[in-house]
Structure 1
Amino acid sequence: MDNQDVSPALSAGMNGNAAPRPGWFKRLVAQEDLNFLLTNRVPRIALTRLMGRLSRIDSPLLTRLSIAVWQMFTSLDLSEAKHREFRSLRDCFTRELKPGSRVFDARPGVLASPSDGIVGATGVVEQGQVYQAKGFPYSTAELFGPTQDASAFEGGRFVTLRLTSAMYHRFHAPADGTVDHVTYLSGDTWNVNPVALKRVERLFCRNERAVVRMTLASGHAIALVPVAAILVASIRLHFLDVLLHIGRKGANEMPCSAPHAKGQEMGWFEHGSTIIVFVPQGFELAEGIAPGVQIPAGQALLKRID
């Protein structure tokens, strides 16, 4: 191997010219390696199915103990929950909130965030490509699947929203409109945290996902793509009265005509995952939307400029 085959930093290190990495950098890399190992180099689908069964065990005592352990490792806050007693972990994961806990931006030209989430990659769809992380592009055609045409979003924008395990897991209509079609694509259950997004190419295209096509009252076509992940390969869509999960192999086509008002609940994840929002040309990011920012469902996410 010669120096042109390695990165400049590594090349400099081989020549003895690079400064040693600081201790904090080495610790960070070690933590990322461990995180990736523990959450991805495991039998992901088997663990996900096991977690699905465990989360449905009807035992208030076991549930209380599990939630107590959960709160030791996450920022789980149940103060907004409509009910504080849960019979299973699934009940806690999919909890409703007290009325008024999420207020949706009512301005007609605004697309509200469909869920709580941390803003991930954002940008413009260029030549059918978007990014899950810096240097990791993926194709909208592959994400949407072989039966769907993603060309309506060429030149438009996308926003990635990541839901952590402790967040509110229900998602809502970002604007008034009608859901026209849903495509469910079975797949893997890679973790979708930032560590994995920087290491696994085309991760969102590999995982289980649903492509929800919607026509807004304004006539614009948008798409919401809920992507499942390890321990959470189940997506409930109320308007189809169906639970989508890894047992449904292949591309499942579900045409429909389901009117929604802005803020109306559309469904839920059964743990935590990601929603990618696609809009056509004529939209821009709302004020304050940037990678790393945590936002609640209902906050302005995108706004129409045409």
Structure 2
Amino acid sequence: MASSIQSLTKREQINFLLTNRIPRRYLTFFIGWLSQIESPIFTKILIRVWQLFADDLRLQDAKKQRFSSLRECFTRQLKDGLRPVVKHPDTVTSPCDAVIGAYGKVDGTQVFQAKGFPYDISELIPDPRLHHKYRNGSFVTLRLKSSMYHRFHAPIDCSVSKITYISGDTWNVNPVALKRVEKLFCKNERAVIELQQDHPTSSITLVPVAAILVASMKFHFLKDTLDLKYQGPNQIPCYVDLKKGDEMGYFQHGSTIILFATSNYHFCDVIQLGAEIKMGQPLMSGHLSRFSKQY
């Protein structure tokens, strides 16, 4: 038992060193360049290499089976009907395929990225109005593995009037790094999207967080791609109405979305730490209750 724990610790240390103690920004630029090369044969080789590290990569679910570039594979669409969306108006569905990394109640304005590693909402989201809105509310951290479907969708019927972009670092956002880098999510590149509803007392906000090899968030209702080269304004106005399940955009690679909800929402009973959830499955409801959990 002791030897297996020691082996796991060594693997975690190697993982952390390989993915974080390197020039993260330049490696991210390189992967961004590499992923845009259009060559079906070269892309097939890159995908084979990728599958050596991600044995759960299931390309048979993709709408198309041949890709001209690695980016086209990263941002692949799925076959129609594979992600049915729960339509009940009181249900918040998962905006993406993900692993539940943490979830629970916000303690005042304090959130936990991992056990013993709290951060304040104000350190993640620059808008004081949202700090107050999600005080004692709920949060869930949704981690998109590199092998997963990378597109994200509206979890409720809503409208979006602006996106706040926050430039930052590109730390890996896997559990190994979260246990070692304090306030990691608050250091990385990210966006803040408040989903406006007809109900004045209910609110959902999404915070997509980029990471190493990613640093690219594309929203269908914005002209510019939000990445490390973006030089535009931090407050980006946009006017779009979305139905639950409508596609909002995609990451270039795996990453994380943190969802914040007001206190009148509660987690569905099926939500568990470390469990996988698919886009469109129930995540929260105004009628089901669940007490706080986190690492």
Match of 1:52 in 2: 32
Match of 2:120 in 1: 139
Q: State the shift of 1:305 in Å.
A: 3.1
SS at match of 1:48: helix
Q: 2:91 aligned with 1:110, yes or no?
A: yes
Q: Distance in 2 between matches of 1:216 and 1:286?
A: 21
Q: Distance in 2 between matches of 1:150 and 1:166?
A: 33
Q: State the shift of 1:251 in Å.
A: 6.7
Match of 1:221 in 2: 203
Tell me the TM-score normalized by structure 1: 0.90
SS at match of 1:159: strand
Match of 2:4 in 1: 24
Q: 2:171 aligned with 1:171, yes or no?
A: no
SS at match of 1:288: coil
Q: Distance in 2 between matches of 1:260 and 1:146?
A: 23
Question: Of residues 228, 231, 236 in structure 1, which corresponds to 2:218?
Answer: 236
Would the aligned equivalents of 2:122 and 2:128 in 1 still touch at CA under 8 Å?
no
1:73-123: CA deviation from partner (whole Å, max 9, x where unpaired): 211111110011100000000001111110111111000000000001111
SS at match of 2:78: coil
Q: What amino acid sits opposite 1:131 in the alignment?
A: F
| Structure 1 segments of 4+ aligned residues over 3 angstroms from their partners | 146-149
Q: What amino acid sits opposite 2:18 in the alignment?
A: L
Compare CA radii of gyration and give the structure with the larger one: 1
Aligned in 2, Cα 1:37/1:305: closer, same or farther, shift over 3 Å? same
Question: Of residues 209, 212, 216 in structure 1, which corresponds to 2:190?
Answer: 209
Tell me the percent identity: 50
SS at match of 2:133: helix
**Structure 2 unaligned blocks of 5 or more:** 289-295
Q: State the shift of 1:248 in Å.
A: 2.8
1:253-276: CA deviation from partner (whole Å, max 9, x where unpaired): 013321100000000000010000
Question: Of residues 23, 30, 45 in structure 2, which corresponds to 1:65?
Answer: 45
Q: What amino acid sits opposite 1:117 in the alignment?
A: A
Q: 2:263 aligned with 1:273, yes or no?
A: no
1:217-251: CA deviation from partner (whole Å, max 9, x where unpaired): 44422100000000000000111233100123697
